[in-house]
Every structure is written in C-alpha cells, then in structure tokens.
C-alpha cells in the first residue's frame, strides 16, 4: 500500500473507530461514570430566600470591601419556586465553605424599571477595581 493511500484511509478508520466505541463500551457493561460513588457537599448555594439553580460564577481576584480574594461569587438563576430566570441573589463562598449573601436585587429599589423583571443570569464578573457586574 502506498503512503498516499494510507494517508487517505487514516481519517476513515478514525471515524469508524469512534463510531463503534460506544457499542463496545455498552457491550462490556462498564461505564466510566459509574465508578464515582462518593459525593461530598462542601456548601450549598441556596440563600435564605430559597433561590436555586446556580448559574453565574466569578472568582474574586483581589480583596476589596466585602470581596475577599479567592472567594467565589455565584448568581442564582431560579427563585424558590424554581421559576427560571427569576433568581435575585448572589452568594459569596469562601474556600473553607462559608457562604454569605453578597447581594439581593430588589426591583422596587432600582432607579428605574427593569424590563422583563429581575432575573440573574450567567453574566457575572468581578472587575479589577472591585465592581461586581451581573446580567439580568
């Protein structure tokens, strides 16, 4: 077989191999993920108002005000009724697992109307100067 033919057949063989791999794994009865049996909960992202579904995540790079370097900010996407896009809280989690409410957005306290209402998203960042920004 010439080198040119080998180079042409290599991608075809790779596709065939990738296509049959799931069948081989299924036939063997083994699963990669089944070997993980132990979950350790370090901290919950659910604040006292019951907001759930953590979406946005930002690592604090520099301590300033309430922000502590190494902590993680998490915005909750759903409210306590699990209604998507209606979460109003950001929690701050320290490396030792301590959770604090960092912010809770109250639509009645905003300087103007919030079209569509308040509902925090994945858009969450802490700027170098200490400002936290979240999408709604």
Predicted pLDDT of residue 8? 66
Q: What is the mean pLDDT of the chain?
A: 84
Instruction: Say how many domains are in the chain.
Output: 2
Euclidean distance between CA atoms 66 and 54, whole angstroms: 20
> Residues with Cβ < 8 Å from 135, sequence gap 6 or more?
56, 120, 121, 122, 123, 124
- Is-contact 82 97, C-beta < 8 A? no
Residue 72: name the closest of 47, 51, 90, 50 by CA: 90
Predicted pLDDT of residue 120? 87
Euclidean distance between CA atoms 117 and 99, whole angstroms: 26
Is residue 44 in some structural domain? no
Q: Which residue range forms the structural domain that includes residue 7? A: 3-35
| Co-location of 63 and 127 in the same domain | yes
| Co-location of 94 and 64 in the same domain | yes
Is residue 102 in some structural domain? yes
- The residue behind tokens 């902590």 is 71
């Amino acid at each position: 077989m010439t080198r040119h033919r080998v180079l042409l057949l290599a991608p075809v063989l790779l596709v065939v191999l990738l296509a049959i791999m799931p069948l081989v794994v299924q036939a063997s009865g083994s699963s990669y993920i089944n070997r993980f049996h132990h979950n350790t909960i370090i901290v919950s992202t659910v604040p006292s108002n019951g907001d759930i579904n953590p979406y946005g995540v930002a690592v604090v790079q520099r301590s300033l005000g309430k922000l502590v370097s190494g902590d993680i900010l998490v915005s909750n996407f759903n409210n306590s009724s699990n209604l998507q896009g209606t979460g109003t809280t950001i929690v701050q989690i320290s490396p030792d697992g301590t959770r604090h409410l960092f912010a809770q957005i109250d639509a009645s306290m905003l300087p103007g109307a919030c079209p569509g209402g308040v509902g925090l998203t994945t858009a969450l960042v802490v700027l170098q100067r200490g400002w936290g920004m979240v999408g709604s």
